[in-house]
Structure 1
Amino acid sequence: MIETRLKALGHTVKWVEFSLGPPLLEALGLGGIDLGQTGDAPPVFAQAAGADLVYAAAQEGAGTGSGILLPKGSPIRTIAELKGRRVAFAKGTSAHNLLVATLEKAGLAYGDIEPVILAPADAAAAFARGSFDAWSIWDPYLAIAEGGEGVRVLSSATDIARPNTFFLANRGFAETRPEVLTAALDVLDGVARWAEANRGEVAAILSKGTGVPLAATRRAVDRANYRIGPLTPQVVAEQQSVADRFHALKLIPKPIRIADAVWVAPARNG
């Protein structure tokens, strides 16, 4: 679909797969790719580092697809009991933001836990071995782990702060070829609307393509929001709170203003 639409505008589509948001945005900022999708934290780190990117669209999160997991046999019952514990997460990702926001709500500081920085695939294996006390993670890793015996969700993002997802574009691309970016987002919106109405088929396609068990994939798909829209004032404010949180923790080197990186689509004729 997107290939056909953009070919009419003189562009070919090349799909590039990334396992995490930070390397995707590094490629985006350098012009290696034009458009990509990530969670809430990666663009904050990228903008603070001077990456040349813009927020093109958003998918507002419900929060049910992200959470902090406890392994089988864990004695932990409250967030406060994470103090002094080893908590795994991928640095600079939405799971990082979820963790620090969760700690804040419980009156804990980031320094009250022992961070264990692991990519999701590595963390999944370590979680199964009981190598740390808790794991902040998103779907489908969350959905897969939830199927494990005795695994519990200590807290979900629904209880703390919803993790929005964003489509980001290279600024130069957005400014020089806005018609291409608009066309790409239109096609993605159509696919998203189809996905909302055909979750069973989406789960089957994703399970086959990724190798993730169908039951876990269906669990993740059923609680996902696929709808795509512009960044509303509320979404911008929520993303600004993410940026302010990371700056307060000195995890980014300077304060940033999210509104400065929000792309405004050109008015459509007719």
Structure 2
Amino acid sequence: MKYSKRLLYSLLCFVLSASVLLTACSGSNTAKDTTVNKKASAVKEKAIKIGYQKNGPLVILKSLGTLEKQLKGEGFQVEWKEFTAGPALLEALNVGSIDFGRTGDSPPIFAQAAGAPFVYVAAGKTKYKGSAILVQKNSPIKTQKDLKGKKIGFAKGSSSHYLLVKALEKAGISYKDIQPQFLQPGDGRVAFEQGNIDAWVVWDPFTADTELNSNARMLVNGKGLSTDRDFFLANKDFANQHRDIIDIVLEEIQKSSDWANSNHKELVAVLSPLLKIDEKSLLLSAQRRLYGIDPLTEDIIKEQQEIADMYYKLKIIPSKIQVKDLIDTGR
């Protein structure tokens, strides 16, 4: 069959037009699919990054797995990041690699003095009973006054640092009259057992473990000297943008704390393999503390301010700070 040139040209134009139209429609659908996928990906990628330490209350929450269930309905995932010490956790909070964390009382003071952008969102219960100055059972050190001139191990800038300063102050001893040995818990334990230090200042569960397994005697605990609280902290930007998520986290911390307080046997079974500390020591530690959250009352803020003032007085931090400046007033 023969076709005229005009007819062939018309047929060719029709085929090309149809092809272009189909491509355009396909491209439009692809663009829509890409947009939908991006939106779904964005929702999926929303996460709260939580910094924790093995010996803190957040590891209990992590082990129970309840927070993940609660935040799933809010479109949030939970990413857990482990830290060996509070200062490193605060640095991560500072640079935004985590959004939320918990430390002892002293690391936030050093971070504030360095200008880190974080806020206090809640306080933990006092745990002074397990924070102590330890000596060997046969040590000639019988009272706090006997610490004068002695080598004393403790973690610099930690809650144990403050406890020691307050104990010396109560005994009328100058900080300059001791030989401070800056040691993290692991190194402090070795130095204590080998007799390289005369006393060791540390917190539970290390206190309990050393009392039961290393021939240690508690010279004094934190009663009347230090409350030794945990503090729950958040990156300032994250707290401003996601107050509802922070509230859910705090609620779940309290729930997991209630569980821990009522289930010591199960609690120590969870913690023992993580901390590599025997269950008997962990049980002693659990029995002399109460897990939970306290609001940031004026009294608690005052406690924290007194610690900051002491560090400034000793020239451990370079400038005087006001703790209240970093209290999250939105809750």
Pairing 1:243-262 to 2, within 5 Å after superposition: 243-262=308-327
- 1:210: Cα distance to partner? 2.2
1:5 corresponds to which residue? Answer: 70
User: TM-score w.r.t. structure 2 length?
Assistant: 0.78
2:162 corresponds to which residue? Answer: 97
Q: Which has the higher helix share?
A: 2
Note the aligned Cα RMSD (angstroms): 1.3
1:46 corresponds to which residue? Answer: 111
Q: Secondary structure at the match of 1:158?
A: coil
1:231 corresponds to which residue? Answer: 296
- 1:16: Cα distance to partner? 1.2
Identify which range, 124-133 or 7-16, moves more after superposition.
Answer: 7-16
In the alignment of these two chains, the number of paired residues is: 266
User: TM-score w.r.t. structure 1 length?
Assistant: 0.95
Q: Distance in 1 between matches of 2:285 and 2:266?
A: 13
Q: Distance in 1 between matches of 2:166 and 2:300?
A: 16
* 1:59–1:225 CA contact under 8 A, matched in 2: no
- 1:18: Cα distance to partner? 1.4
* 1:195–1:226 CA contact under 8 A, matched in 2: yes
Pairing 1:113-262 to 2, within 5 Å after superposition: 113-148=178-213, 150-262=215-327
Higher relative contact order (CA 8 A, sep 6+): 1
Q: What stretches of structure 2 of length at least 5 have no aligned partner?
A: 1-65
**Which one of 37, 52, 57 corresponds to residue 102 of structure 2?**
37
Identify which range, 173-182 or 3-12, moves more after superposition.
Answer: 3-12
Q: Secondary structure at the match of 2:145?
A: helix
Q: What stretches of structure 1 of length at least 5 have no aligned partner?
A: none
- 1:62: Cα distance to partner? 3.9
Q: Secondary structure at the match of 1:139?
A: coil
Percent sequence identity over aligned pairs: 42
Shift of the 175–72 alpha-carbon distance from structure 1 to 2, 3 Å rule, reads same
- 2:128 matches 1:57: no
Shift of the 149–25 alpha-carbon distance from structure 1 to 2, 3 Å rule, reads closer
**Which one of 64, 74, 82 corresponds to residue 17 of structure 1?**
82
- 1:149: Cα distance to partner? 5.3
- 1:176: Cα distance to partner? 1.4
Q: Which runs of 4+ in 1 moved over 4 A?
A: none
